[in-house]
Amino acid sequence: MNCNKNVLKAYLPNKIDMTKITIILLLAFLSISGFSQTEEFVYKNTEFGIEVKFPSKPTENTLNNTYVNQKTATLNLVSAGLSYGLLIQKSIVKIDMLKTFKDAGDVTIMSNYTAGDNEVTEFKMLAGGACTRYKIINIKKILILLSVTSQSCAQDKDVLPFYNSLKINDIIAQNPNIDNSKFKTFAIDYPSNARTDTVTKVVYVNSGSKTSYQYEKLSDVDKNIPQNASTNPYHFALIVGNEDYSSHQLDLKSESNVDFARNDASAFKEYCSNTLGIPEKNITFLLDATVGQINQGIAKLKLLSKASNGKSQLIVFYAGHGLPDENTKEPYLIPVDVNGANVTSGIKLQDLYSNLTEYPSERITVYLDACFTGGGRNAGLLAGRGVKVKPKEGVLKGNIIVFSSSSGEQSSLPFNYAKHGMFTYYLLKKLQETKGDLTYSELSDFLSEKISIESLLVNSKEQNPVVNTSPNASEKWKSWRLK
């Protein structure tokens, strides 16, 4: 029963009484190898006579398997920041699943209709900080549940191809009252389609899409990157560059983007692999990452630390928007699918630090080219907030040091000439000049002096980087060496 309850949690909110529904899982056919990133993925289940097409190849998939009586099949897929779910269940009696959902969250019915012998209900539900679009089909004593979960409610372009590709005994079950013909191609141009699995593989994108990105080495710090022949299998890095917010949130304008954040992350990745000796496979690299992708990256880093038995050295680099919660003053990293009005759906900094230090490490270094006051390289994301908020400082533990790009109520600003953030540019500059052979104290002194002066000269605003450490590291961080 414990396994069955865990399966349902992918589809139902936590407050549902899980003992009311018994789930027995079926081994279903799953094969995604060989598909291109823009090719749809087709799921077939002959036991239930169904077929459904997912809009693109998933970057993550989970299939729950049990071999008893073939009463239930479940499938979870993640593609382009959306989580797709499929649940098929045989039952002795007809299940009123909609009532169960109404008891658990804020439900809005979108449509009710019949398609042949099929009774279909489409609705959306807000629960647990996420929005899910559902399609329930009752066929006599078989229930089919399709779901699409996102940080904000998924749009029709993301939902309809999945919903309307469902075939039951070769008959499509779709709303006859809506013309969805323009969604029949399934190969939807998601902003992240040009990327492969960003959680496990580094990719520089160069495609015909207007949302594509290619790292062009235009700055002096992008070239002549020092090479280090040695590598350390216990060094791991999570690198995030969140620049394009407006493509992921249609209500935002281009000024909401963070200029050069993708350049920052791409260049820092080059220095990690070439100068600091971090193996390529040990680097998790994310561009324009959603809350789910960042959380996956953090979880991966934590597990790597656990497996290393205290020998790991962790690096986290983040360039993008940061915001405080106006009530608690807690600072958050803002993924591209989280907006300024929904800050607490982002990545709480204190939670990040807690995850990184849950298991012993030799050293943890965090670089934040973001401010958390309500001002940043671009302020469009924050236009409705009106005032800056001084963020609360978190409590650090373990062997951790945090290099922040600005202090107090300051903004973290761009260096337009160099096509980088001011903080990242001088971080890379020092790595380039020293070939990474320097102490943390020397790096801190350099950043403090250079950025404080150059920000006034270039941007006419104060920007003073800050170093925060845990009590464990307060006496020794200055002598740590970057490589």
- Check whether residue 172 and residue 230 sit in a common domain: no
pLDDT confidence tier of residue 454, bands split at 50, 70 and 90: confident
Q: Is residue 212 one of the residues assigned to a domain? A: no
- Check whether residue 265 and residue 153 sit in a common domain: no
CB 25 within 8 A of CB 73: yes
- Asked whether the predicted pLDDT for residue 324 surpasses 60, the reply is yes
What value does the mean pLDDT take over residues 53-78?
A: 55
Higher pLDDT, 317 or 377: 317
- Check whether residue 325 and residue 464 sit in a common domain: yes
- Check whether residue 331 and residue 433 sit in a common domain: yes
* pLDDT on residue 387: 37
* pLDDT on residue 407: 73
Percent of the chain beyond pLDDT 90?
Answer: 29
Out of 156-160, 163-167, 217-221, the most confident range is 217-221
* pLDDT on residue 1: 31
List Cβ neighbours of 38 (8 Å cut-off, separation of 6 or more): 56, 57, 187, 189, 193
Residue 436 identity = G
Q: Is residue 475 one of the residues assigned to a domain? A: yes
* pLDDT on residue 202: 31
- Asked whether the predicted pLDDT for residue 110 surpasses 70, the reply is yes
Q: Is residue 62 one of the residues assigned to a domain? A: yes
Q: Is residue 189 one of the residues assigned to a domain? A: no
* pLDDT on residue 170: 77
- Check whether residue 254 and residue 149 sit in a common domain: no
Helix (H, G, I), strand (E, B) or coil at 475: coil
Question: What DSSP character marks residue 411?
Answer: P
Lowest-pLDDT range of 151-155, 205-209, 265-269, 386-390: 205-209
Q: Largest Cα–Cα distance of the chain, in whole Å?
A: 75
Q: Which CA distances in Å does 78 have to 60, 180, 296?
A: 5, 23, 12
- Check whether residue 112 and residue 254 sit in a common domain: no
Higher pLDDT, 373 or 428: 428
- Check whether residue 225 and residue 179 sit in a common domain: no
* pLDDT on residue 312: 96
Helix/strand/coil percentages in the chain, nearest 5: 25, 25, 50
- Check whether residue 137 and residue 225 sit in a common domain: no
CB 374 within 8 A of CB 324: yes
Lowest-pLDDT range of 130-144, 157-171, 192-206, 333-347: 192-206
- Check whether residue 236 and residue 365 sit in a common domain: yes
Q: Is residue 173 one of the residues assigned to a domain? A: yes
Return the bridge partners of 123, or none. 109, 134
* pLDDT on residue 294: 92
Exposed, middle or buried, 478 (CB in 10 Å: 0-12/13-18/19+)? middle
Residue 322 identity = G
Q: What is the 3-state secondary structure (H, E, C) of 225-271?
A: CCCCCCCCCCEEEEEEECCCCCCCCCCCCHHHCCCCHHHHHHHHHHH
> What are the strands of the beta sheet with 283-287, ordered from one edge?
283-287, 235-241, 313-319, 363-369, 400-404, 466-469
CB 109 within 8 A of CB 130: no
**What is the torsional sign of CA 237, 443, 413, 394?**
positive
What mean pLDDT is reported for the chain?
A: 74
Please count the structural domains in the chain: 2
Residue 29 identity = F
* pLDDT on residue 126: 78
* pLDDT on residue 238: 96
* pLDDT on residue 118: 75
- Check whether residue 333 and residue 271 sit in a common domain: yes
pLDDT confidence tier of residue 109, bands split at 50, 70 and 90: confident
Phi, psi of 320 (to 5 degrees): 160, -165
What CATH number corresponds to the domain at position 84?
Answer: 3.40.1000
Higher pLDDT, 123 or 388: 123
Out of 78-92, 330-344, 408-422, the most confident range is 330-344
User: Which of 129, 162, 183 is the C-terminal boundary of a domain?
Assistant: 183
pLDDT confidence tier of residue 98, bands split at 50, 70 and 90: confident
Q: What is the DSSP string of 100-155?
A: HHHTTSEEEEEEEEEETTEEEEEEEEEETTEEEEEEEEEETTEEEEEEEEESSPPP
User: Which of 164, 183, 202 is the C-terminal boundary of a domain?
Assistant: 183
- Check whether residue 165 and residue 228 sit in a common domain: no
Q: Is residue 209 one of the residues assigned to a domain? A: no
Q: What is the DSSP string of 1-42?
A: -HHHHHHHTTTS-TTS-GGG----BB------TT--TTS-EE
Cα 145 from Cα 138, distance rounded (Å): 9
CB 330 within 8 A of CB 391: yes
Strands 313-319 and 363-369: parallel
Cα 264 from Cα 222, distance rounded (Å): 10
What value does the mean pLDDT take over residues 389-418?
A: 78
- Check whether residue 122 and residue 255 sit in a common domain: no
CB 372 within 8 A of CB 349: yes
State how far Cα 171 lies from the chain centre.
36
* pLDDT on residue 144: 83
Give me the domain span that covers residue 370.
Answer: 220-479
CB atoms within 10 A of CB 369: 33
User: Which of 161, 183, 205 is the C-terminal boundary of a domain?
Assistant: 183
Q: Is residue 192 one of the residues assigned to a domain? A: no
What CATH number corresponds to the domain at position 298?
Answer: 3.40.50.1460
**Tokens found for residue 204:** 């520089």
Residue whose structure tokens are 């609705």: 123
Kindly report, residue by residue over 278-291, the tens digit of the pLDDT: 999 999 999 989 88
* pLDDT on residue 352: 94
Q: Is residue 15 one of the residues assigned to a domain? A: yes
